[in-house]
Amino acid sequence: MKFFLKEYTPVYLLALYRKVRVTLRFFSVRALLAKNYGLQAQSDTVVILGNGPSINQLDLPSVLAGVDVIVMNSFYRHPDAHKLKIVAYCVGEQGWYAQNSDISNMLNTPSSQYWFSTDFAARLKPLLANIHLYLPGNDAVLKQHKKNLDLSHPAPYYENTSQMAIMISMSKGYKKIILLGFDHNYLASEWYLEHFYEEDFKVEASISRLYIDGADYHALIQNCERMWARYKLINSYALSRGIEIINCGKDSYLDVFRRHPLQTAMTPITKHLENIL
């Protein structure tokens, strides 16, 4: 039924439906979203850690000593999670929450802030002062390039938590955003969901499993196309606002952003830390 409505409903009616839905949700959570207003980073640079296998090649506590870090989803599984300066821990995908309904491991990982999509609002009691909600539903800011991101109001849509994390980092005022672990090798491997940790469900994350579940390779291609298009929109907005997003992942297939070796991208930060220590 959901597929039928999406396939045969006029585009303008779908857009109107989404706008009404987002507006109603905004009024139901606006008091919580107000906590997001005016959040400002204390430095210019942040490193966003994806959960790709490539981060296993790095000594994260050494490489990221004293650097602001944003992590996501199951990063609490990393043995060095407690040794980093985590300024935001993000969860934006319902699929992750369905498999990790007990979020105590995440909340036990030290972080200045914890960010959830408003899809979790009904199941998550935001009793902690450092829990923030993200309401996807407004792409105008990204497309018009005229305003800073304000997450106290409906924010841009995202295809994955990685994109949500980039949006949060831009809203906090970071001018240099370094990406690590954004391997994004979905179409280059039999295992289209690979992480730095051992999968509990690896057989379910294989290309062959798609057919068992009634999906197909074309659906995976379309998903990647939407994801890449969204990354391009994000990068266009970032460039218009003087924000530099650099992909330093050695094995990353994400070719939307500028590529630099990690050492080159981190050099100004390292010198700054040496001066203040």
At 77, the amino acid letter reads: R
| pLDDT higher than threshold 50 for residue 273 | no
Quick one: what percent of the chain has pLDDT higher than 70? Answer: 78
How confident is the model over 252-265, as pLDDT tens digits? Answer: 999 999 999 888 88
Left if phi > 0, otherwise alpha if psi is -120 to 50, otherwise beta: which for 66?
left
How confident is the model over 145-202, as pLDDT tens digits? Answer: 777 899 999 999 999 999 999 999 999 999 999 999 999 988 887 666 678 887 665 5
The number of domains in the chain is: 1
CA distance 277 to 273: 6
- Looking at every residue in the chain, the average pLDDT score rounds to 82
As given in the structure block, the two tokens for residue 250 are 């050695």
| pLDDT higher than threshold 60 for residue 233 | yes
As given in the structure block, the two tokens for residue 226 are 């939407």
| pLDDT higher than threshold 70 for residue 14 | no
* Distance separating the N- and C-terminal Cα atoms of the chain: 61
CATH number for the domain spanning 134: value is: 3.90.1480
State which residues form the domain around 32: 2-276
As given in the structure block, the two tokens for residue 143 are 């497309």
How confident is the model over 103-124, as pLDDT tens digits? Answer: 778 888 999 999 998 877 666 6
pTM beyond 0.95: the answer is no
How confident is the model over 58-84, as pLDDT tens digits? Answer: 999 999 999 999 999 999 999 999 999
As given in the structure block, the two tokens for residue 137 are 């539903």
| pLDDT higher than threshold 50 for residue 275 | no
At 102, the amino acid letter reads: D
Residue matched to tokens 């802030």: 113
